[in-house]
Amino acid sequence: MIISNSIKKRQNQKIFWLFFLPLIISIIGVFFVFEASSIKSFNEYRDSFRYLKLQLIWVGLGVLIMFFMSLFDYHRLYYWSLFLMILTIFLLFLVLLPGIGHQVGGARRWFDFGFFNFQPTELAKLSIIIYLSSWFINRERKRFFSFLILVGLLMFLIILQPDMGTATIIFFISIAIYFLAGIELFYLIFLIPIAGLFFLFLIKISPYRLHRLFAFFNPKIDPLGITYHINQILISLANGGIFGRGFGASRQKYLFLPEAHTDSIFAIIGEEMGFLGSSLLIILFFLFSYQMFKTILVARDRYGRLLAGGIFAFFNFQILVNLAGMVNLIPLTGVPLPFISYGGSNLLVSFFLLGILINITKQSRIL
């Protein structure tokens, strides 16, 4: 009885941290979505609180979805995996059609429902985790080329939008699950360098991507053009210094910084909270990642380990790509910062996956 209570207590502690850390990060995100968007929101809608109110709605819905999925036995996802993948491929085709997919800035990535823009690429991240985890439950051989065709099709449809950042995330999530499955790993030795060459080819044939690569190597070549975005991000971070300007004191939010409340929100956090405040946020992300990693270790079966590993990859690759782009370690991509960036699609998918992770922990074997 004492041993059983001890196990239950440790399990509840793991669940608490898995829920508490993302919730705290989401609350921080809500504050900074308002900070970064208030000027833009007033200019566009004469309502400084529009983006704040919508973000609060998405967080509220996300928490409800998380609670539902935490009670939903993750083993039942196996029976939904094929349907989810077929739906995802259909929506990725559909969004490319003129008159159906909503186009902004030359990219056709959204379904516009008025108050809500849905991105099927976010559903693709969810679907690839559930489908590949279900597919690789059994250690059957000779799956590599089927795996390659599926991942290649998803990436091709996403690149057509175009959205190379999300295509890269899909690629790395897929590789992570394949690696955890432990099936014919020697193929990865050839796949990764070939994939790198393929991405370089895509950059070379696209003038926009090529200019972005040049901007990465030399942010000063076109300060009012292709390098404007990264320069404004670096100005924000530099202005923040060690301690920051203080909450509400950002200058870059006055429409200098593009995508201030979405992909570039970390620059506003860095400007207002400085190096110390930004570091505290990164520490929260690190603690969250550590809790996810512990879930992989204690998952009761192979399916749980593969799902938890895919979810771990989903969050960490997005965090790394977003933050590395902010400090010019890699070229800028349109990848949101989980639980922080404004947007319903990514936030709802993030809470959905968090609920699965909590369910895996509830059924885990505590070490």
Question: According to the model, what pLDDT value does residue 4 have?
Answer: 63
Angstrom distance (rounded) from CA 184 to CA 203: 30
The answer to whether the CB of 310 falls within 8 A of the CB of 137 is: no
Question: According to the model, what pLDDT value does residue 58 have?
Answer: 94
Which residue range forms the structural domain that includes residue 113?
2-362
What is the C-alpha R_g of the chain? 21
User: How far, in whole angstroms, is CA 69 from its chain's centroid?
Assistant: 19
How many domains does the chain divide into? 1
Structure tokens at 54: 């919508």
Whether 367 is covered by a domain: the verdict is no
Question: According to the model, what pLDDT value does residue 268 have?
Answer: 93
Whether 59 is covered by a domain: the verdict is yes
Angstrom distance (rounded) from CA 310 to CA 326: 24
To the nearest 5 percent, what fractions of the chain are helix, strand and coil?
Answer: 70, 5, 25
Residue 139 burial (CB < 10 Å; 0-12/13-18/19+)? exposed
Type and span of the H or E element at 112: strand 107-112
Block means of pLDDT (10 residues each) for the chain, length 367 residues?
A: 64 88 95 91 88 94 96 94 95 88 72 78 94 86 82 91 87 92 77 77 70 73 76 90 86 84 91 94 96 92 95 96 90 88 92 96 76
- pTM of this structure: 0.93
Whether 347 is covered by a domain: the verdict is yes
